[in-house]
Chain A
Amino acid sequence: MKKTVKLMLLTAIVFGVWSFTKTEKAIDNGYKVGDYVKDFKLENIDGKMVSMSDFEKAKGFIITFTCNTCPYAVAYEDRIEALNKMYEEKGYLVIAIMPNNVKVKPEDGMKYMRARAEEKGFTFPYLMDEGQRVYPQFGATKTPHIYVVKKTDKGNMVKYIGAIDDNYQNADEVKNKYVEDAVNALLNGKEVNVTETKAIGCSIKV
């Protein structure tokens, strides 16, 4: 009897410690402005694998960590599509990556991503970060979280990290279009003025 009780307590302690460490996950590393981005190979909603190297003519990319379920990400869906429409032909296309653990957020699963993309008419790749290996390399912490990268001889260099603009509630009241400003500067051969911004978002589900 005594042994059983001790065992029960031990199990409780071990379980307690385990759940404690599980909440400790934090990302301190990740790309900074000026770093080169490692290419990825992730499955698109059409079943094909997509890498940055597939787009030979691209001048750069607007890498967008986003998902179906975060209200902030949803608030930006139309603006992400607008960015792709505006810049794809000019050489900067949007590549969206869904970073959440679909076991935690089943509504972010591939079939839901496909449905959402069809419903909203997304014209950009919407990739699943299978195994959640890519977002930690970037150091993304939330959705939406944007990385503008420029193609150079040495690789794809990070030029901007942060928010799309400064008003998640109302696209009509935006004062600063951070991503547009960054891409416009790069297209004009200039340096990006504001290279990093902060915005509220949903933590990536691990």
Chain B
Amino acid sequence: MKKYCLIIVVLLLDCNQEKNNNNKSATVVKTEESKAETVDLIVYDYNTLEPLLNKKDGKVYVINFWATWCAPCVKELPYFETLNKEYQSKNVEVILVSLDFPKQYEKKLKPFIVNKNLKSRVVALNDVDSNTWIPKVNKDWSGAIPVTLIYKNDKRAFYEKSFNLEELKKEVNKFLN
């Protein structure tokens, strides 16, 4: 019984914390523009991105393809951020591959990275010949985003869908011993 109450108290505290965070981010916005200029964004084409999708170093990589204009992508980003933070010690790394248009890198993507305080590695993929590279990521991918690739050495799983935190953890756990 006490345990249940404790859980609820924790949940309530959690909500409060979120509120505080929101207030904090409001003050960050002011300096957002100047900070965005300092964001180092590596832009890949598919050939140079491919090695990131095929490492064999025993680490679990969670690769999420997203864009700032994609509402379901933006909605699930916090879950990937949480995963990256909580699973760092378990040798898991999240890489967020942005498919924003190049002309939006300065205007939207970099300010977004600063504003949302993204801690996971964010890279950009700029390769218009999607018919060539989409099937290389996964043969069943229709091209819709968000999609997520989880891999460790030769074991791979591909998800053309949105995640919540619980399910994301469940899928990543399958890659942990």
Contact B131 A71 (CB under 8 A): no
Query: B1 is contacted by which of A2, A16, A20 (Cβ under 8 Å)?
Result: A2
B1's closest neighbor in chain A, by CB? A2
Contact residues, A69-114 vs B (CB, 8 A): 70-71, 75, 104-105
Query: B101 is contacted by which of A169, A173, A202 (Cβ under 8 Å)?
Result: A169
Q: Say whether B173 faces chain A, with CB atoms less than 8 Å apart.
A: no
Q: Mark B55-72, 1 if CB is under 8 A from A, else 0.
A: 000000000000101111
A74's closest neighbor in chain B, by CB? B69
Contact residues, B119-140 vs A (CB, 8 A): 128-131, 134-135
Q: Which B residues lie within 8 Å of A105 (CB)? A: 71
A170 to B69, CA, bound (A): 19
Contact B130 A198 (CB under 8 A): yes
B146's closest neighbor in chain A, by CB? A203
Contact A167 B128 (CB under 8 A): yes
| Count of chain A residues with a beta carbon within 8 Å of a chain B beta carbon | 39
Contact B145 A202 (CB under 8 A): yes
A204's closest neighbor in chain B, by CB? B144
Q: Say whether B78 faces chain A, with CB atoms less than 8 Å apart.
A: no
Q: Mark B97-135, 1 if CB is under 8 A from A, else 0.
A: 001011000000000000000000000000011110011
Segment with Cβ contacts to A, from B81-89, B149-157, B159-167: B159-167
Contact A20 B167 (CB under 8 A): yes
A25 to B161, CA, bound (A): 8
CB of A175, distance to nearest CB on chain B (Å): 8
Known A5-B5, A5-B8, A167-B128; judge A198-B134 contact (CB<8 A).
yes
A39 to B2, CA, bound (A): 61
Query: A198 is contacted by which of B8, B141, B163 (Cβ under 8 Å)?
Result: B141
Q: Say whether A125 faces chain B, with CB atoms less than 8 Å apart.
A: no
Q: Which A residues lie within 8 Å of B5 (CB)? A: 5
Q: Which A residues lie within 8 Å of B163 (CB)? A: 23
Known A6-B4, A8-B8, A198-B130; judge A141-B142 contact (CB<8 A).
yes
Q: Which A residues lie within 8 Å of B142 (CB)? A: 141-142, 145, 198
Q: Which A residues lie within 8 Å of B69 (CB)? A: 70-71, 202
Contact B131 A162 (CB under 8 A): yes
A198 to B128, CA, bound (A): 11
Contact B131 A198 (CB under 8 A): yes
A161 to B162, CA, bound (A): 24
Contact residues, B1-41 vs A (CB, 8 A): 1, 4-5, 7-8
Contact A9 B4 (CB under 8 A): yes
Q: Nearest 10 A-B pairs (CB), nearest first?
A: A142-B144, A198-B134, A203-B144, A141-B142, A197-B131, A167-B128, A141-B144, A5-B4, A23-B162, A199-B130
22 contacts between A and B (CB under 8 A): A5-B4, A6-B4, A9-B4, A9-B7, A16-B166, A20-B166, A105-B71, A141-B142, A141-B143, A141-B144, A163-B130, A166-B129, A176-B131, A178-B131, A197-B131, A198-B130, A198-B131, A198-B141, A199-B130, A200-B99, A201-B143, A204-B144
A residues near B, CB below 8 A? Answer: 2, 5-6, 8-9, 16, 19-20, 23-26, 70-71, 75, 104-105, 141-142, 145, 162-163, 166-170, 173, 176, 178, 197-205
B residues near A, CB below 8 A? Answer: 1, 4-5, 7-8, 67, 69-72, 99, 101-102, 128-131, 134-135, 141-146, 160-164, 166-167
